[in-house]
Amino acid sequence: NLVSNAIKFTTTGYIQLSVCLIKQDAYSADLRFTVQDTGIGIPEDVQSRLFQSFFQADASTTRKYG
């Protein structure tokens, strides 16, 4: 979802996906995925609600970006 949103909301500039190995043992690995882009951004006051179910930062983005 983070990568698809970066693609959807970045019309110019860049999108960078990074993967970092945090911890590994014989059976599993913990990875950290980071997405950076030069897209339209999300206001700070909305960021804390991003991972709530069915939340969209601004309803106008649906009309403009789908």
Note the pLDDT of residue 33: 95
Find all residues with CB under 8 Å of 35, minimum gap 6, and list them.
2, 3, 6, 15, 16, 17, 18
Note the pLDDT of residue 42: 86
Domain ranges of the chain: 2-58
Bridging pattern class, strands 15-24 and 29-37: antiparallel
Confidence band (pLDDT; 50, 70, 90) for 2? confident
Note the pLDDT of residue 62: 58
Segment 12-66, tens digit of pLDDT: 999 999 999 999 999 999 999 999 999 998 888 888 887 777 656 666 655 566 5
